[in-house]
Structures are given as structure tokens and as C-alpha cells.
A = this chain, B = another copy of it.
Amino acid sequence: MDLKSRNSCFGGTQEVWSHASSATGTDMTFGLFLPSEAKDGPVPVLWYLSGLTCTHENAMTKAGAQAWAAEQGIALVFPDTSPRGAGVPDDAAFDLGQGAGFYLDATEEPWAKNFRMRDYVLNELPALLFGTFALDAERQSITGHSMGGHGALVLAMTAPERFLSVSAFAPICNPTQSEWGQKQFAAYLGEADKKVWMQNDATLLMADRGFDGPMLIDTGTEDQFLDLLMPEALASAIAKRRQQAIFRMQQGYDHSYFFVSTFIEEHIAFHAEALYA
């Protein structure tokens, strides 16, 4: 692993690392915030999955998460949103290819070789992190924004043994029914087996299995992408399942990081309750 940068931040350190990934066949870069408590032993971990077009860097610099993670003694991991590089397939659209990995494992060409973000985030990166840093694998939670909020919900419901709590900011909720989903699933997963699509749709997973732990979802009433996010579908599925959840529509907020930064304190406090239970 190569240390790209290390900055003191709220008594801990904000680090950026890159490493060769066997999951994606590329170099991958991630951000890691370690609170000061990590000097004394393993600390809990909150995964933050970012949205379309983001790298490891956006949330790390704009979400204001470190203030609250430092207060709670929680580490933050900021993975990239896809493999990148000259040899990696891409698409002219901002919502397909590089920067738009959707946290799934592609099965279709030309994406199948590199676009394995589920495997990367769920298997390879944790093995690397827990083998290297003072992080407690028994205390993990996950959150994310937009495409990353959807990723957080899907990973939590399909790897429930891994996460004690899940939250999301303005998540894509029902991608099999949205232009943010249908296009990407068709490209990455093909159209032959729609059952695979269901395994990657937060609303369908909620209907099918839910999550055995606390869940917090915030979406702004002025979000410019509400028609694509479809929070009503997830809210309905949560209610039908009687899923333990806090689902909030936040008056006046939009899709930006100004929305994320406003509520990140509450999300981190929410996860801290589960991580320190």
C-alpha cells in the first residue's frame, strides 16, 4: 500500500492510501479517517459510500464527517466509486462506467473484468484494512449518499452479519424501476436474469428480507433527483415489512453535500449507538 497523504484532523489523521486490487484488476484509492483513539487499540468503523461521479475524496473533504467521527471515536472509510484508469472501460455518460460502479459485481462485457465493487468493498478492502490498521472488524456500520446510499442499503441487507447499523442520504431506492438503475443494471448485469437485478435493488431486498438492525434514511424534499431516487418505494416497503427504521423527508434540503453535512452528525451519532451498544 502507498500512503498518498496524511493530514492531522480533529486530533486524529485523515489518510489517503492506494493499493493494487485483485478484485478490480486496477490500483484503487481510499480515504481513511482514524480518530485519536486508534492509537490505543481497535476502533469501530463506519463505511461511507459515495455517489455518482465521486472519488474517494468528495465526502472526505465536503461531508464534514470527521468532526463527529472524532467525537465518537469512530474510523471512517471512504472507498472510490469504481475502478479507474486508461485501461478501464468507460462510457461518455456520467452515470455509467468510471465513477458509477454501483457497488455491484458486473457480469457483462466489457465491465466484468474490472467493475467488481461489491467484492472490493465487501471482501478485499476489509481484509486489507483490518490486517493493517487498528480497526475492529466486529464493529462495522455503513452509510452512503445517492448511489452510495443505495450501495449501503444493499450491502447491509445482503451481508447483514457484517454491519450493526445502516443509514443513507438521499439513496437511490428502487433502481430496477428507475433510469438510475435500469440503464446500469442492463449494462453491468445483462438482461437475461432479472433475479440478479433483484439482489441489487434496495426496495426489493427490503420486501424480501429487510435488515436486522437499526436503519436511518434522510432525503430532502427539494432533492432535484426525487423522481429517480423513488424514496416512496422504499418507504412503502419499510412500512410493509415493519422494518425497524427512521425514514425522514427533510424540509427544503436538496441532493448536495450541504444536505449531507447538515445531517452527518445525526447519522454518526445514530451509528455510534449501535457500534457501542
Q: Can you list, as one digit per residue, whether each of A147-165 has a CB less than 8 Å from chain B (1) or not (0)?
A: 0000000000000000000
| A9 x B262 contact (CB < 8 A) | yes
Knowing A64-B67, A257-B61, the reply to whether A262 touches B8 (Cβ < 8 A) is yes
For A225, the chain B residues whose CB sits under 8 A away are none
- Residues A256 and B7 in contact in the complex (CB < 8 Å), given A61-B61, A61-B62, A62-B61: yes
Whether A252 contacts B64 in the complex (CB less than 8 A), given A14-B258, A258-B14, comes out as no
Report the separation of the CA atoms of residues A265 and B67 in the bound assembly, to the nearest whole angstrom.
10
- Which single residue of chain B is at the shortest CB-CB distance from A64? B64
**CB interface residues, A 45-80, toward B, < 8 Å:** 61-62, 64, 66-67
Q: Which of A214-272 contact B (CB under 8 A)?
A: 220, 222, 250, 252-254, 256-259, 261-262, 265
CA distance A61 to B58 in the complex (A): 10
Interface residues of A, count at CB 8 A? 24
The secondary-structure label for the interface of chain A is mixed
- Give CA–CA (A256, B66) in the complex, Å: 14
In the complex, A10 has a CB within 8 A of chain B: yes
How far does the Cβ of A242 sit from chain B's closest Cβ, in whole Å?
31
Of B9, B254, B262, the contact of A258 (CB 8 Å cutoff): B9
What is the copy number of this chain in the assembly? 2
User: Once the chains bind, are B254 and A8 in contact (CB under 8 Å)?
Assistant: yes
Scan residues 1-50 of chain A and give those whose CB is less than 8 A from a CB of chain B.
7-11, 14
Cβ of A61: which chain B residues have Cβ within 8 Å of it? 61-62, 257
- For A251, the closest partner residue in chain B by CB is B8
Q: Report chain B residues within 8 Å CB of A220.
A: 8
Given contacts A8-B252, A8-B253, 6 further A-B contacts (CB under 8 A): A7-B253, A7-B258, A9-B261, A10-B261, A10-B262, A66-B261
